[in-house]
Amino acid sequence: MSSPVFARVLDAIERGAFPRTRKWAWRILYNMLSRRWRDDEWRFMNFGFVPEGAPFPLRAEDEPERAFIGLYEQAVAGLPIAGARVLEVGSGRGGGARYIARYHGPASIVGLDYSPETVMRARRLNAETPGLSFEVGDAERMPFADGAFDVVVNIESSHCYADVPAFAREVARVLAPGGWFTFADMRGQASAFTLDQELAAPGLDLVSEQNLSKGVVTALNVVEARKRIRLGNLRLMRRFVTEFSGARGSMLYKGLGDGSVIYVARRYRKAD
């Protein structure tokens, strides 16, 4: 049975209710997860994405994370990452930033996250990766200079923000002229159409958009057994975290399947 608490959280997100309270609650949840799950195998906190067609190349040691990495590969494929200054906003435990650093050759990549516990975990898990660092900070008030980055990545994080338009304005501010902003997140069908307004920061031009929902559901199916093992070790808030993680039978899993929840990917470019 779906968690009544989680249902109320989703309803509040859809209505835009209590944004500051929701932002504070998400921070507490991510801090709790970082304290509870300390294993080195858990570098990713996204739903994942399995594209149609031929699989992209991965080293053997990264194959177990293919479903999660797929969301990052679709985000950066074809972008000028080599030699670029990259920022990931909402970097979680750092698996995505680590993948970009190891496979796409940026000059540097910074992961920014609102949860101090999660940043500490990311630093420990990814300490061996050259050119990769992590900082605590607010997506709506980033601690970086104007034009500090060439590419900004934001994966499955914006639904936690109190003020998405403020985040978009910050993206535009920290991007250098000609820089790229690659975004992916889920929205209820009713609120998906507001992304045009939420991300319409001056200077950011929409270049492409796609619906990833089918490939996200495929990824959720791929990682289901592994996820259930981890959930079985969780006593506190097990039902809520089951919903939050998109496990099979959850509200989010069903919504992505029937179209009431849409997983959207977008790319923007800052004017020269």
Inter-residue contact 147 to 178 (CB < 8 Å): no
Lowest mean pLDDT among 44-58, 142-156, 231-245, 255-269: 231-245
CATH 3.40.50.150 at 4-270, yes or no = yes
Instruction: Give burial (CB, 10 Å; 0-12/13-18/19+) of 185.
Output: buried
Identify the band that residue 2 occupies on the pLDDT scale cut at 50, 70 and 90. Answer: very low
pLDDT band at residue 163 under the 50/70/90 scheme: very high
- Flag whether pLDDT at 266 surpasses 50: yes
pLDDT at 17 over 70: no
pLDDT at 7: 54
pLDDT tens profile 95-111: 999 999 999 999 999 99
Is the pLDDT score of 6 beyond 60?
no
What's the mean pLDDT when you consider all of the chain?
A: 87
Q: Which of 65, 73, 140, 156 is catalytic?
A: 156
Structural contact between residues 90 and 154, judged by C-beta atoms closer than 8 angstroms: yes
pLDDT in tens, 167-184: 999 999 999 999 999 999
Q: Is 156 an annotated catalytic residue? A: yes
Of residues 45 and 76, more confidence is placed in 76
| Distance in angstroms (rounded) separating the CA atoms of residues 63 and 2 | 32
Q: What is the pLDDT of residue 33?
A: 62
pLDDT value at residue 226: 79
What's the residue count for the chain?
Answer: 272
Tokens encoding 241: 């975290």
Domain boundaries, the chain: 4-270
**pLDDT exceeding 90 applies to what percent of the chain?**
64
Backbone angles phi, psi at 206, to 5 degrees: -70, 125
Q: Is 13 exposed, middle or buried (0-12, 13-18, 19+ CB in 10 A)?
A: middle
pLDDT at 232: 65
Give the pTM. 0.87
CA distance 83 to 77: 15
The better pLDDT of the pair 252, 179 is held by 179
pLDDT digits (tens, 9 = 90+) for 192-204: 778 999 999 999 9
Per-residue pLDDT at 211: 96
The pLDDT, as a whole number, for residue 41 is: 61
Predicted local confidence at residue 188, as pLDDT: 87
190 or 102, greater pLDDT: 102
Q: With 60 as the cut, is the pLDDT of residue 86 above it?
A: yes
pLDDT band with cut points at 50, 70 and 90 for residue 248? confident
Banded pLDDT at 4 (limits 50, 70, 90): low
